[in-house]
Amino acid sequence: MLMLSRLRAALLPLLLAATLSACGVNNVPTLEERARSAWAEVQNQYQRRADLIPNLVETVKGYAQQERDVLREVTEARARATQTRVDASTITDPARFKEFQDAQNQLSGALGRLLVSVERYPELKSNANFLALQAQLEGTENRIAVARRDYIQSVQAYNTELRTIPNRWVAAIFHPDAKPLENFSAAPGAERAPQVKF
């Protein structure tokens, strides 16, 4: 009888651990870490774009003296985008997330205007440095889109975990400080194609 009670006492913690792991108690932190990792990749790609911009602006400056306003806009938008402080807490703070997203949207718009203005300078469009920078910028914009998509998917999985039953109950018991994460939304006017005027 004593042997049976010792066996039960030894098996009870193992059974409890197996039951808890099977009920999804680790899903919330796992999905949160996945979303935070995806957010870090979004920040990485935006930083890559910000790093390319000074070289692009300097290359265009040499050819397009009359485009000073556009170049100034790009430089100022880059400064605003890089001054917007973001960290892991940004994805749970709607105001800071919107501030970050607005700064990045302004930079995207300024870059778009710069690239449209370049169309007026055939010799610049054929410059090897400009072409290389433009290709890197286009590649970076694609990487940003992929990183944002991955982040959006990670946030969807995490937020769904927090809001659906029985996961909601598990999160309330074992992860009471877990909050839904913020997500990207389209920039105002994104539903309309940009107009190009020469």
Q: Check which CATH number belongs to the domain holding 74 and give it.
A: 1.20.1440.20
- The answer to the question of residue 23 being in a domain is no
CB 181 within 8 A of CB 35: yes
Q: What is the pLDDT of residue 198?
A: 40
Tokens linked to 21: 């792991």
- The answer to the question of residue 150 being in a domain is yes
- The answer to the question of residue 191 being in a domain is no
Q: What is the pLDDT of residue 62?
A: 74
- The answer to the question of residue 34 being in a domain is no
pTM higher than 0.75: no
Q: What is the pLDDT of residue 161?
A: 93
Q: For residue 110, count CB atoms less than 10 angstroms from its CB and return exposed for 0-12, middle for 13-18, buried for 19 or more.
A: buried
Q: For residue 183, count CB atoms less than 10 angstroms from its CB and return exposed for 0-12, middle for 13-18, buried for 19 or more.
A: middle
- Identify the helix (H) or strand (E) that includes residue 54: helix 27-63
Q: What is the pLDDT of residue 110?
A: 87
Tokens linked to 30: 């796992």
CB 177 within 8 A of CB 82: no
What is the pLDDT tens value at each position of the chain, 198 positions in all? Answer: 677 677 677 766 666 555 555 567 889 999 999 999 999 999 999 999 999 888 888 888 777 666 777 888 888 888 888 888 777 788 888 888 889 889 999 888 888 888 887 777 777 777 788 888 888 999 999 999 999 999 999 999 999 999 999 889 989 999 999 999 998 877 776 666 555 444
- The answer to the question of residue 127 being in a domain is yes
Q: For residue 156, count CB atoms less than 10 angstroms from its CB and return exposed for 0-12, middle for 13-18, buried for 19 or more.
A: middle
- The answer to the question of residue 188 being in a domain is no
Domain coverage including residue 118? 42-174
- The answer to the question of residue 197 being in a domain is no
Domain total of the chain:
1
- The answer to the question of residue 129 being in a domain is yes
